[in-house]
């Protein structure tokens, strides 16, 4: 005899999470521990071009960094177009650099140059990471010019450090030299920190323009092939002056004024604690083998020490102190908080470009991340030639627990006249209430239940685990864990399976005992 039971909050939560533990946090997560998100295109058609205009029609060439500004606009380092663009009021225009490319390489693509002056007459070379100070100045890691540039609030471009020639010298302003800097961060005192990537160093530029190196130089070399050796970075935690990095490429300052570093070649996130005077590893790992340029990349969520990255780049810190990481070769954005690493958007197993909720969304070699004033996440989706926006799912205003299990479709409640049931570890809901709320019509032909939507038809049978879906001329058959059944005059179906057949993501909010259906 099969026993049907109506469960309270604890039993249903366990069922919905397929046997996993229920978090006590009020945050909204998927059963796999990912925050619930929706990703969509903020700007870019995907073409590898330089077009200005409406956000959806504009084109970038490998955008390398993003920077939301206080007025709601977003700056974009359009790296292969050699300029800084701005996304504002649904349109993309040039913020600094020439309106159109005027210099071209042998491949016919824009090539970089070096010139200060009025923003519209200035030149950059492979610009990357950006940061803004309290006065509205924007600082740019001008990688190909081996310099840090400043775009003033009144549109004047100047050089803060470096001089267009690669090198590794401390000094004053242009008297100092850098080697392919990839990112910058500015603290409340006006100090600028630089990820001086190919010098394997973190540099500091004080308010007077003095450039100093914080960590030890690497003495390591790696053999590329045929006896050819290349100077490369190294790895060591400890006192700041003794620490070693390997192609650091991303920076973010926390509320304490301490610095997170994407130590890209070491596949780690490092943390510089200025008060303690130390560098530690915040997350990631991997062996830096003798003769190799980099530690081997990998992918793993979980405890920070066991988490793995594959070429982490840009970083951003949210209001809660969590750290977002553009994990470029894992085609994903990761999140580090309270000693745990989770994946926010993207899939390490394959690159993609799809918009959508949760794991539906894909990225292709993201290089940078940034948080705007609303807490939304922007991503420089570099090889998709787009700027993507990630919004985090929020419950409707005033949504609180009321002692019952409830169902939300996006932010709209699906009214149920009976409580969900649990059968064989699966959550069961009345099919008509759910299907009609999701835009399907429901009809019954004896024991058969037909769910007809705009693009597909789903057929299932009471007492049978088999379900058939027809989309266009294609028909697919799948097997449910639990067969539909009738109880009290209602036909119950396993909500997760049916919703996923409809292309709808399923989640659970433990604090309010809410099933979340999102598309």
Output the six-digit token pair for 148: 């840090």
CA gyration radius for the chain? Answer: 26
The predicted-structure confidence for 314-366, as pLDDT tens digits, reads as follows 999 999 999 999 999 999 999 999 999 999 999 998 999 999 998 889 999 99
- Any idea what the Cα angle at residue 55 is, between residues 53 and 61, rounded to 5°? 85
Predicted confidence at residue 149, as pLDDT, reads 98
Helix/strand/coil (H, E, C) string of 127-155? EEEEEECCCCCEEEEEHHHCEEEEECCCC
Output the six-digit token pair for 369: 């991340």
Phi, psi of 79 (to 5 degrees): -60, -50
Options 2.60.120.650, 1.10.10.10, 2.120.10.30, 3.30.470.10; CATH of 37-392: 2.120.10.30
Calculate mean pLDDT across residues 66-95: 98
Output the six-digit token pair for 305: 């020490």
Same fold, 37-392 and 406-518: no
- Any idea what the Cα angle at residue 499 is, between residues 496 and 500, rounded to 5°? 80
Asked if 142 and 127 touch (Cβ cutoff 8 Å), the reply is yes
Pairing of strands 406-409, 514-518: parallel
Asked if 28 and 393 touch (Cβ cutoff 8 Å), the reply is yes
The predicted-structure confidence for 362-407, as pLDDT tens digits, reads as follows 999 999 999 999 999 999 999 999 999 999 988 998 999 998 888 9
Predicted confidence at residue 442, as pLDDT, reads 95
Cα separation, 449 vs 213, whole angstroms: 70
Cα separation, 261 vs 116, whole angstroms: 29
Helix (H, G, I), strand (E, B) or coil at 431: helix
Q: Which residues contact 361 (CB under 8 A, 6 or more apart)?
A: 37, 38, 39, 345, 346, 352, 354, 355, 390
| Mean pLDDT across the chain | 91
Phi, psi of 304 (to 5 degrees): -55, -40
Cα separation, 206 vs 191, whole angstroms: 5
Q: Which residues contact 25 (CB under 8 A, 6 or more apart)?
A: 510, 511
Predicted confidence at residue 499, as pLDDT, reads 87
Q: Is the pLDDT of residue 228 over 50?
A: yes
The predicted-structure confidence for 103-136, as pLDDT tens digits, reads as follows 999 999 999 999 999 999 999 999 999 999 999 9
Calculate mean pLDDT across residues 85-89: 98
Cα separation, 44 vs 66, whole angstroms: 13
Q: Is the pLDDT of residue 21 over 60?
A: no
Output the six-digit token pair for 100: 């159109």
Predicted confidence at residue 32, as pLDDT, reads 66
Helix (H, G, I), strand (E, B) or coil at 225: strand
pTM of the model: 0.88
Asked if 406 and 396 touch (Cβ cutoff 8 Å), the reply is no
Fold that domain 406-518 belongs to in CATH: Copper Amine Oxidase; Chain A, domain 1 (3.30.457)
Longest dimension (CA), the chain: 85
> For 20-54, b where at least 16 C-beta lie within 10 A, e where not — what string?
eebbeeeebbbeeebbbbbbebbbbbeeeebeeee
Helices (runs of H) and strands (runs of E) counted in the chain:
3, 45
Calculate mean pLDDT across residues 508-518: 86
Predicted confidence at residue 407, as pLDDT, reads 92
- Any idea what the Cα angle at residue 140 is, between residues 138 and 143, rounded to 5°? 175
Predicted confidence at residue 284, as pLDDT, reads 98
Q: What is the DSSP letter of 167?
A: -
Domain ranges for the chain, please list them.
Answer: 37-392, 406-518
Cα separation, 252 vs 200, whole angstroms: 17
């Amino acid at each position: 005899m099969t026993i049907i039971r109506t469960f309270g909050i604890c039993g249903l939560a366990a069922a919905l999470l397929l046997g996993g533990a229920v978090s006590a946090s009020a945050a909204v997560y998927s059963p796999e521990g990912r925050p619930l998100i929706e990703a969509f295109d903020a700007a870019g058609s995907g073409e590898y071009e330089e077009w200005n205009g409406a956000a959806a029609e504009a084109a970038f060439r490998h955008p390398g960094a993003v920077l939301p500004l206080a007025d709601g606009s977003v700056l974009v380092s359009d790296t292969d177009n050699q300029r800084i663009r701005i996304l504002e009021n649904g349109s993309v225009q040039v913020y600094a650099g020439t309106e159109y490319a005027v210099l071209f390489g042998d491949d016919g693509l824009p090539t970089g140059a070096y010139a200060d002056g009025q923003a519209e007459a200035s030149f950059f070379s492979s610009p990357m990471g950006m940061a803004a100070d309290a006065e509205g100045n924007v600082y740019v890691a001008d990688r190909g010019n081996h310099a840090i540039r400043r775009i003033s609030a009144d549109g004047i471009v100047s050089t803060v450090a470096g001089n267009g020639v690669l090198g590794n010298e401390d000094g004053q302003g242009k008297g100092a030299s850098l080697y392919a800097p990839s990112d910058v961060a500015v603290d409340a005192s006006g100090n600028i920190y630089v990820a001086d990537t190919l010098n394997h160093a973190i540099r500091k530029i004080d308010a007077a323009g003095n450039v100093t190196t914080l960590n030890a130089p690497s003495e390591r070399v790696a053999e590329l092939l045929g006896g050819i050796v290349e100077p490369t970075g190294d790895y060591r935690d400890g006192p700041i002056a003794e620490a070693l990095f390997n192609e650091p490429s991303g920076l973010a300052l926390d509320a304490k004024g301490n610095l997170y570093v994407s130590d890209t070649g070491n596949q780690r996130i490092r943390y510089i604690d200025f008060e303690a005077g130390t560098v530690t590893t915040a997350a990631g790992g991997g062996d830096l083998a003798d003769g190799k340029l980099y530690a081997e990349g990998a992918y793993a969520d979980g405890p920070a020490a066991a988490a793995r990255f594959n070429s982490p780049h840009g970083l951003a810190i949210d209001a809660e102190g969590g750290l977002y990481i553009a994990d470029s070769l894992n085609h994903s954005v990761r999140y580090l908080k309270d000693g745990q690493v989770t994946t926010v958007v993207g899939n390490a197993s394959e690159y993609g470009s799809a918009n959508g909720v949760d794991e539906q969304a894909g990225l292709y070699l993201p290089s940078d991340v940034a948080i705007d004033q609303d807490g939304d996440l922007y991503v420089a989706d570099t090889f998709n030639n787009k700027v993507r926006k990630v919004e985090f799912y929020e419950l409707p205003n005033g949504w609180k627990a009321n002692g019952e299990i409830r169902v939300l479709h996006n932010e709209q409640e699906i009214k149920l006249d009976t409580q969900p049931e649990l059968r064989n570890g699966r959550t069961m809901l009345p099919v008509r209430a759910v299907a009609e709320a999701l835009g399907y019509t429901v009809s019954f032909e004896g024991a058969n239940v037909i769910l007809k939507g705009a693009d597909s038809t789903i057929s299932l049978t009471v007492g049978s685990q088999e379900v058939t879906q027809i989309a266009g001329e294609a028909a697919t058959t799948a097997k449910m864990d639990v067969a539909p059944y009738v109880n009290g005059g209602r036909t119950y179906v396993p909500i997760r399976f049916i919703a996923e057949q409809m292309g709808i993501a399923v989640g659970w909010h433990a604090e309010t005992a809410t099933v979340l259906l999102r598309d």
